[in-house]
Structure 1
Amino acid sequence: MRTLLYVPIIHTSADLGSLAKEVTQRGIKDLGEEIWKKHEETVLGFWNILMKYFDSIEVAGVKIYQDGMIANGEIGQKIVEEGVRSGSKNYEVISRLLQKGGVLVKTEDFHFVREERNRLLKITQATTIVGKLLWLIRYKLTKNSLLNKRDNFISKRVDETLNEGERGIIFIGAYHNIKHRLSGDIKIIEIKDSEKIRAYHKLLPFYHKYKDRIEELSRYILSEVKMHSER
């Protein structure tokens, strides 16, 4: 039996690199500064909860997978270090796991990740409203196809590199959907409920309409880790 700890994640601004400023400005514009600040506090608290949990478990020899991770070895280590320097809580957690003996694994295809990043940059770099709208439409029309390609690649990488009797941890965005693509002999244990993390993402832009539900989900996100097995 192979075991995979499944961590659906919420990215901090530091994870977004050159997209961070645009995302923050849009968040403040759409939600207001107070609500956006609450969201950022929720995300930071979420990562602190994860850090506390992973600091408490033995991870020597555990395979570490991360969405967007296009390399392992020395290059992968440099990517993690650069992420930590930029303030990424995600990469800080991974760095601590590696220091405890975790093994970083190339998780994604460089070309797919670059394509996704380039499409998003086209939206943020457009200088007119019409330009932004056109690139946004193009992105929405193709994002599911690209996400599907990425998910197929990720699930294949896990299946190929997680050997019998081994444990792995995957940090993956809430909109990814790889669980049903993984081999049936991989036991999936969720660190947080993917559906609840995804619901928080989906409802946040409509905070004023779904305030009670979003605050309920926020409390769940900030609660201590209580794992449950998917299969």
Structure 2
Amino acid sequence: MCETDMPRLIQIPILHSSVDMGSQGAAYKAAFIAQYGAQKWEERVRDYDAIWRAIEDALDALRLDMRQVKLYQDSLPVCGREADLVHTLAALGSRNHALLERLTSAGATLVGSESAELLLEEYRLLGAGGGEQAESLLDRRDRFIAARIAETLGPTQIGLLFIGALHDPGKYLPSDIISEPLVIHAPPTFFSSKEHPR
């Protein structure tokens, strides 16, 4: 298979908001503040819009044929209701999910990316600070995401993976998928920190 026929995955580092976390938003915010402090939370909120503008600009600059694009989203379960979940979170003000809606309207295909069971386990651990258990769970989630990409991203297609900073599903992708990061111009604090609860 020549390189131009190989599936391509563009990994997009994202910053979650409490809205993105749905019913677990308050627990997410509390866990973040407990770990990093209220000042870091305020910085994060301030940077949120700038980061999402930078992501949108970088994606627009790629000029992709959206009919060839599959969208993968951290924390979006395989459930048959993916578009409804994205719409609900976009309506609540999630920049991430509003962008997913815009891309699907342009022809991209939304793909459920995570195991609902693993996400429920994650939500249970969110407030408990699970340590090694949380690390193991993150690894299992990354394996699941990589498997979903491998089974749904076809030759000549491009996947856009919206993924939190602690994740690394790329290490589990098969070698026939070309993986690369999206180059964005965002506030330096976004790149200098791993201050992202899972």
Do the structures match in fold with TM over 0.5?
yes
* Partner SS for 1:63: strand
Secondary structure class of the residue paired with 1:201:
coil
Q: Does 1:111 align with 2:104?
A: no
Contact persistence 2:7–2:177 (CA under 8 A): yes
Provide the aligned length of Structure 1 versus Structure 2.
184
Task: Find the structure with the greater CA-based Rg.
Answer: 1
Give me the whole-angstrom Cα distance separating, in 1, the residues matched to 2:168 and 2:183: 14
**What is the CA–CA distance in structure 1 between the aligned matches of 2:175 and 2:29, rounded to whole Å?**
40
Task: Assess, with a 3 A threshold, how the Cα gap between structure 1 residues 165 and 198 changes in structure 2: closer, same or farther.
Answer: same
In structure 2, distance between residues paired with 1:69 and 1:4: 17
Contact 1:71-1:106 within 8 A present in 2 as well: yes
The residue type paired with residue 23 of structure 2 is: S
Partner residue of 1:53?
58
**In structure 2, what is the equivalent of residue 15 of structure 1?**
20
Q: Partners of 1:177 and 1:32 in 2: how far apart? A: 27
Identify unmatched segments of 5+ residues in structure 2: 1-5
Correspondence for 2:69: 62
Deviations 1:17-73 (A, max 9, x none): 33433554663996455x643321212210111123334523223111111111365
| CA distance 1:41–1:96, shift in 2 (3 Å) | same
CA distance in 2, matches of 1:17, 1:144: 22
| Deviation by residue 1:113-137 (Cα, 9 ceiling, x = unmatched) | 11101222xx2xxxxxxxxxxx33x
Q: In 2, Cα distance between the equivalents of 1:43 and 1:179? A: 25
Task: Report the TM-score when normalising by structure 1.
Answer: 0.71
Partner of 1:180: 171
| Paired residue type of 2:76 | M
Q: TM (normalized to structure 2)? A: 0.81
**Worse overlay, 15-24 or 159-168:** 15-24
- Give the percent of matched residue pairs that are identical in Structure 1 and Structure 2: 28
Aligned partner of 2:193 among 189, 200, 212:
200
Structure 1: stretches of 5+ with no match in the other structure: 124-134, 205-231
Mean alpha-carbon deviation: is it higher for 90-99 or for 13-22?
Answer: 13-22
- Which structure features the higher share of helix residues? 1
Q: Return the match for 2:157 from 135, 150, 166.
A: 166
**Does the 8 Å CA contact 1:76/1:104 hold for their aligned counterparts?**
yes
Per-residue CA distance 1:135-165 (angstroms, 9 max, x = gap): 33xx113101111111111111111111111
CA 1:29–1:197 in 2, change beyond 3 Å: closer, same or farther?
A: closer
